[in-house]
Structure 1
Amino acid sequence: MKGKAPFSRGRGQQGLQGHMQILRRPYLGRGLSDRTVDVLTSACRDSTQKQYVTSIRKWEQFCLHQNISYQTAGITDVLEFLSSLYFDQKLSYSAINTARSALSSYLAMNSELRSVGTHPLVSRFMKGVFNSNPPKPRYAGIWNVSEVFMLLRQWVPVASLSLAKLSLKLVMLMALVSAQRVQTLQKLRIDRMQVSADAIIFYVYDLLKHSRIGMTGCKVVFSAYPTDDRLCVVSHLSRYIDVTKALRGTESALFISHKKPHSKVSVQTISRWLKQVLGSAGIDTDKFKSHSTRAASTSAARAMDVPIDHILAAAGWSSELTFEKFYHKPISRLGVFADSVLSSVIVSP
């Protein structure tokens, strides 16, 4: 393989198949059946596979330029590759760590590099990168949820809202009072929904970002907020389901497009809706993206002295360290959690 480009960059479905072939290469030629290789490759989530392919392509190009075999390179070559990512490409600790993980999978069959990710020299190199350029949270501070709630309170009455505006308001309310990821909101289904007098519960069985062996799926509860119906997620959710009933046909996904053919929306669409609301509320969307709703809502709840276990349960975090390090920011029931977030809004007549 020396001196020859080991892959070609395809597009569309051909490109996706090319990605899978790159990840399958370490297992080929070892007497394994295609279905066994499929399972081994599936150990990585789709998003992880895309990240790994990016790193592996860089590794293969590095080996090509160094005139070494990308499959049988030694530990010295791996260290020099990681060093090039740090010094030449100025990549962050997180990006370099992803490359390390990708090589651990890609070179897993090489006897010398059986555990490249845990090799003492690689571990020491990563520690050096961490100490020299420690990872930083995306936001030093976070926007005040009151600014968004004040905007949403103006979008009334719910019965007169267009489907487009109702969609925007509902998805923002749901994001803030639940602190769920956009991915989770996109997975909500009306055929996995339980309605009671004061709450609507969704059961999510899909594989989520925080899913792991022994912990899959989740239950997302949206409680009524009788204190201010203008911010009540249950009343808006009920209205949304009524309005979309005649449009969705057999579509069971909660959020559908407000334009024909009214099909299930993507994660990117929901992110765009959230960002649109943030922009309308005067939030700097060049700085704060849709994911910032999690930091904004959990930080608001913490400022209202909501117990940390309520916050962790609502957001799906297992460790308080995750919240404190990446989400708890100073600010420029579910019950407890949702009501506290909503009550942080500045009361107006």
Structure 2
Amino acid sequence: METVGLAPEGAQYLEAGLSAGVVETILSSRAPSTRKLYGLKWNVFIDWCRRREVDPVNCPVASVLEFLQDRFSSGLTPSTLKVYVAAIAAFHAPLGDGSLGRHQLIVRFLRGAWRMRPAARTRVPSWDLAVVLEGLAEAPFEPLESAEAKNLTLKVAFLLAITSLRRVGDLQALSISNECLEFAPGNIKAILHPRPGYLPKVPSNVARPTVLQAFHPPPHLTADEERLHRLCPVRALGIYIQRSSSWQKADQLLVCFGSPKKGFPASKQTISNWIVNAISTAYQVRGMPSPLAVRAHSTRGIASSRALLAGAPIQEVCDAAGWATPHTFIRFYSLDIPSTPGSLVLAS
């Protein structure tokens, strides 16, 4: 039985009389990345407890609060403390009828940490979408039919991210299998479903298909229309699928383009790196220094903010991005940008 990162939790369930199969199914309710993250945080808590001769599994709430205060005093953000609480709660013995994470003092501690150290978030994007799109329409990204596999992959990953508003994990879940990918007649749109069994980061959300609309499809009456078509996500996707078929070794859509993992599924971290590299390379193409501190996740804030400014209804934007309410967008993603889901983003 695999209990990656959560072996202590699995051991507790086994000791409670549950079968190995039941335990594995329970542990699989969390994504492997979450299990690994919780395991790392739990190990930090174990080391802290050992130095104080405290039982990490059965320690009182006061010990957990002292640990959190120690972490908070060292400069950790409230959001990081929240992850620690979730990790410790996963391994810690239940407190009465509830989880440690729901204990009143823990909840109040986190609330106090947020008030004392509120998250500082810039409202100004760290990179210019217009600059990136201009760079993607030129060499070395074009002509796409003969571009290096690296540049082809970077461009496709970026266009998927910016026009779908999806998380990197959602992009990783896309598949080229017949039941997951469909091009409409005339390639006016592409419909991509996540692989069967994929659970979004927010379990309450339904895994919706990603619909890409063609951008400035032919025939082109002007050179400018032809140039804009180079940014079409449907076109880029079609060329990528055709060219990558010669090295695909899995049905995941985005696969590695270089040795030794060429053709194998790309990890979320790899896809994130591709998106950041696409932004950086596009800036270099335009003769500009690469922007600093760029994160792949920033595509969601820029795309959703531009979509809203372009007139897209806020609920449609939230549905495309996988946010349950507009509150999430307003609090974490809304940006101050001059005057998009899908082609509205590109039209900017």
Contact 1:26 1:107 in 2 (8 A): no
Change (3 A) 1:67 1:329: same
Give the aligned CA root-mean-square deviation in angstroms.
Answer: 2.5
Count of matched residue pairs: 322
Aligned amino acid, residue 96 of structure 1:
L
1:124-149 CA distances to partner (integer Å, 9 max, x unpaired)?
22221111112333x43112210111
Counterpart of 2:265 in structure 1 is: 264
Q: Is structure 2 residue 175 aligned with structure 1 residue 189?
A: yes
- Does the 8 Å contact 2:49/2:56 carry over to 1? yes
* 1:275 has 2:279 as partner: no
| Equivalent residue number for residue 6 of structure 1 | none
Counterpart of 1:148 in structure 2 is: 132
Matches within 5 A, 1:11-90: 19-87=5-73, 89-90=74-75
Which runs of structure 2 are paired with 1:199-218 in the superposition (5 Å)? 199-204=189-194, 205-213=196-204, 215-218=205-208
Contact 1:275 1:285 in 2 (8 A): no
Evaluate the alpha carbon distance shift between residue 199 and residue 117 of structure 1 in structure 2; reply closer, same or farther with a 3 A threshold: same
Partner of 2:229: 229
Note the C-alpha offset of 1:308: 0.9
Question: Aligned-pair distance for 1:216?
Answer: 4.0
Q: What is the CA–CA distance in structure 1 between the aligned matches of 2:263 and 2:26, rounded to whole Å? A: 37
8 Å contact from structure 1 (residues 92, 133) kept in 2? yes
Verify the 8 A CA contact 2:5 2:37 in the aligned structure 1: no
SS at the partner of 1:314? helix
Deviation of the 1:18 alpha carbon? 6.8
Counterpart check, 1:239 vs 2:230: no
Q: Which residue of 1 aligns with 2:344?
A: 340
Distance across 1 between alignment mates of 2:4 and 2:158: 37
Identity of aligned residues (%): 26
Task: List per-residue Cα deviations over 1:206-257 (Å, max 9, x = no partner).
Answer: 43443415x4422001111125311111122222222223332x63222233
State yes or no: 1:104 paired with 2:89: yes
SS at structure 2 position matched to 1:194 = strand
Task: Compare 321-330 and 268-277 and name the one that shifted more.
Answer: 268-277
TM-score (normalised: structure 2)? 0.84
- Paired residue type of 2:17: G
TM-score by length of 1: 0.83
Q: Is the 8 A contact 1:186 1:253 kept in 2?
A: yes
The answer to whether structure 1 residue 292 and structure 2 residue 298 are counterparts is: yes
The yes-or-no answer on 1:94 pairing with 2:99 is no
CA distance in 1, matches of 2:255, 2:271: 10
Sort the Cα spacing of 1:31 and 1:258 in 2 relative to 1 into closer, same or farther, 3 A. closer
Partner of 2:68, secondary structure, is helix
Query: 1: distance between equivalents of 2:310 and 2:213?
Result: 18
**2:121 matches 1:130:** no
Q: Assess if the C-alpha contact under 8 Å between 1:206 and 1:217 holds in 2.
A: no
The answer on whether the counterparts of 1:144 and 1:331 sit within 8 Å (CA) in structure 2 is no
Residue 152 of structure 2 is aligned to residue 166 of structure 1: yes
Alpha-carbon shift at residue 110 of structure 1 (Å): 4.8
Q: Unaligned regions of 5+ residues in structure 2, if any?
A: 217-224, 284-288
Matched AA of 2:229 = D
| Change in 2 beyond 3 A, CA 1:266/1:68 | closer
- Counterpart of 2:210? 220
**8 Å contact from structure 1 (residues 152, 231) kept in 2:** yes
> Which residue does the alignment assign to 1:327?
333
Say if 1:152 and 1:86 are closer, same or farther in 2 by CA, change over 3 A. Answer: same
Give structure 1 stretches of 5+ with no counterpart: 1-15, 345-349
- Shifted more, 143-152 versus 179-188: the winner is 179-188
Q: CA 1:80–1:320 in structure 2 vs 1: closer, same or farther (change >3 Å)?
A: same
**Cα distance change, pair 31–264 in 1 and its aligned pair in 2 (3 A):** closer
SS in 1 for 2:82: helix
